[in-house]
């Protein structure tokens, strides 16, 4: 992230920061028991999610976790098999038509063989109280692309044009599906700076990502999806604390896969792995594990113990072997 930006600028913003809101105003997002299957695959398997005004929420999960399907149902692009979706107390379709909600969709959304300005002018005419095209382009930093035909845009430019499209209705809720996927590092920084500036006025943002750093840097709250279910939901720090354990790294010359299985069975160790002679033990109780390790493998050296980072939390919570997780108190994890 750029050094001149605070790394956690909006964390713990009070709910009342939103514009035009009162204690009884319906939440920007309210999903209850939402499910959707494609054939035998349960893409989304019972998601409950309420997002109050002014929050910036990251929907985090690996590919195939159900992020895009959740977003499609949220926007009324896909009908849920079960459950209800309400945006500002309205049906998604109506909230979009009223210009309260807009989105940057993952694929396409731009018509070829017309200029960026034409696309924006056209879509602008389909919203009740839109921004001017010039203002939308300014916010997305694409004034220089006005006369460019859409099929000639680079991947990163397309994303910025989509952001301008999402700005057009002047929405109160912005939904972003993998918004920085095609961007290089500087474009990504510029994008988040623009989105931050926009959200700072008390507006609500939900974004899907599988970039951990983005969720960590930008979101007030992280909702972690795995296999269509919410496996964790809370402030970033709380998500990190869910895993709680530590990781022991060390060198163990000559260690093989059978040895790793043995190490994985040591007391206090929840998962073991190796890269060459380097072993890595994820531990629910690192003190016990360390004593057991020194007994079991006296040749071990270069010992290093680290606390769990968000990366570890992410991997632990989203990989397919939930049984190795320590069951976190108060989370929705249903390990074992």
Partner 1 sequence: MNPALLTLRYTRFEVGRIWRNPRFLLFSVALPLIMFSAFTATDPTDKLGPITVGPYIMISMATFGAMMSVVTVGTRIALERAGGWSRQLRLTALTGPQYLVCKVLGGFTLALPALIAVFLEAIALGRAHLSVGTYLTAGIWVLIGIVPLAALGILLGYLVRADNAGQLIGSMTSLLALAGGIWVPVESFPRWLADLVKALPMYWSADAGRQIIAGSWIGWHGLFVLAIWTVLLGRLAVHFYSRDQLRA
Q: Which is nearer to partner 1, 140 or 255 (CB)?
A: 140
Please provide residue 183's backbone torsions phi and psi, each rounded to the nearest 5 degrees.
-95, 150
Give the list of residues 6+ apart from residue 305 with CB closer than 8 angstroms, or none: 246, 247, 248, 249, 286, 290
**Residue with structure tokens 């969709």?**
105
Q: Which is nearer to partner 1, 79 or 332 (CB)?
A: 79
Q: Does position 96 bind partner 1 by CB under 8 A?
A: yes
Residue 169 CB, shortest distance to partner 1, in Å, is: 8
Find the part of the chain contacting partner 1 (CB under 8 A) among 75-83, 203-211, 213-221, 263-271.
Answer: 75-83
Residue 214 CB, shortest distance to partner 1, in Å, is: 22
Total residues in contact with partner 1, by rule CB under 8 A? 32
Q: Does position 79 bind partner 1 by CB under 8 A?
A: yes
Q: Does position 298 bind partner 1 by CB under 8 A?
A: no
Torsion sign over Cα 149, 150, 156, 161: positive
Distances (CA, A) of 191 to 106, 185, 212: 15, 10, 16
| x/- map, 168-207, partner 1, by CB under 8 A | -x--------------------------------------
Query: CB neighbours (10 Å) of residue 185?
Result: 10
DSSP code at position 4: T
Q: Which is nearer to partner 1, 120 or 199 (CB)?
A: 120
| x/- map, 136-175, partner 1, by CB under 8 A | -----------------------------x---x------
Find the part of the chain contacting partner 1 (CB under 8 A) among 7-15, 71-79, 227-235, 255-263.
Answer: 71-79
Query: Which residues on neighbouring strands pair with residue 84, listed in sequence order?
Result: 32
Q: Which of 123, 145, 224, 290 binds partner 1 (CB under 8 A)?
A: 123
Gap between the Cα atoms of 183 and 155, Å rounded: 7
Q: Does position 103 bind partner 1 by CB under 8 A?
A: yes
Distances (CA, A) of 57 to 68, 166, 200, 215: 15, 17, 14, 8
Q: Which of 82, 126, 197, 303 binds partner 1 (CB under 8 A)?
A: 126
Q: How many residues does the chain have?
A: 336
Find the part of the chain contacting partner 1 (CB under 8 A) among 50-58, 119-127, 305-313, 323-331.
Answer: 119-127
Distances (CA, A) of 303 to 78, 205, 250, 278, 279: 51, 43, 4, 10, 10
Gap between the Cα atoms of 251 and 274, Å rounded: 9
Residue 102 CB, shortest distance to partner 1, in Å, is: 6
Q: Which is nearer to partner 1, 109 or 141 (CB)?
A: 109
| x/- map, 208-237, partner 1, by CB under 8 A | ------------------------------
Q: Which is nearer to partner 1, 177 or 216 (CB)?
A: 177
Gap between the Cα atoms of 179 and 218, Å rounded: 13
Gap between the Cα atoms of 136 and 230, Å rounded: 34
Sheet holding 173-177, edge to edge: 101-104, 173-177, 204-209, 56-60, 221-226, 229-234
Q: Which of 14, 39, 125, 254 binds partner 1 (CB under 8 A)?
A: 125
Tokens read off for 163: 């952001």
Gap between the Cα atoms of 227 and 42, Å rounded: 8
Q: Does position 78 bind partner 1 by CB under 8 A?
A: yes
Query: What is the contact surface with partner 1 in residues (CB under 8 A)?
Result: 72, 75-79, 93, 96-99, 101-103, 105, 107-114, 118, 122-123, 125-128, 165, 169
């Amino acid at each position: 992230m750029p050094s001149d930006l605070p790394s956690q600028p909006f964390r713990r913003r009070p709910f009342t920061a939103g514009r035009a809101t009162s204690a009884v105003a319906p939440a920007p997002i309210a999903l209850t028991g939402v499910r959707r299957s494609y054939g035998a695959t349960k893409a989304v398997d019972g998601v409950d999610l309420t997002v109050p005004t002014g929050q910036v929420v990251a929907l985090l999960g690996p590919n195939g976790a159900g992020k895009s399907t959740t977003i499609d149902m949220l926007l009324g692009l896909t009908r849920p098999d079960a459950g209800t979706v309400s945006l500002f107390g309205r049906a998604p379709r109506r909230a979009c038509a009223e210009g309260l909600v807009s989105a940057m969709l993952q694929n396409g959304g731009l018509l070829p063989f017309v200029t960026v300005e034409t696309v924006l002018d056209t879509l602008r005419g389909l919203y009740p109280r839109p921004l001017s095209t010039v203002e939308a382009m300014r916010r997305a930093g694409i004034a220089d692309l006005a006369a460019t035909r859409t099929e000639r845009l680079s991947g990163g430019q397309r994303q910025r044009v989509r952001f301008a499209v999402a700005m057009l209705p002047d929405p109160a809720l912005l939904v972003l599906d993998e918004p920085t996927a095609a961007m290089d590092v500087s474009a990504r920084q510029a994008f988040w700076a623009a989105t931050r500036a926009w959200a700072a006025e008390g507006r609500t943002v939900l974004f899907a990502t599988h970039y951990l750093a983005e969720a960590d840097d930008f979101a007030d709250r992280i909702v972690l999806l795995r296999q269509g279910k919410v496996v964790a939901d809370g402030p970033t720090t709380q998500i990190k604390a869910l895993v709680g354990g530590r990781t022991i790294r060390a060198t163990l010359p000559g260690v093989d896969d059978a040895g790793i299985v043995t190490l994985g069975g040591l007391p206090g160790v929840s998962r073991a792995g190796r890269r060459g002679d380097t072993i890595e033990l994820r531990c629910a109780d690192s003190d016990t594990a360390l004593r057991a390790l020194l007994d079991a493998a006296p040749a071990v050296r270069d010992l290093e113990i680290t606390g769990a980072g968000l990366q570890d939390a992410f991997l632990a919570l989203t990989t397919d072997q939930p049984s190795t997780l320590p069951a976190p108190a108060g989370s929705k994890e249903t390990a074992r």
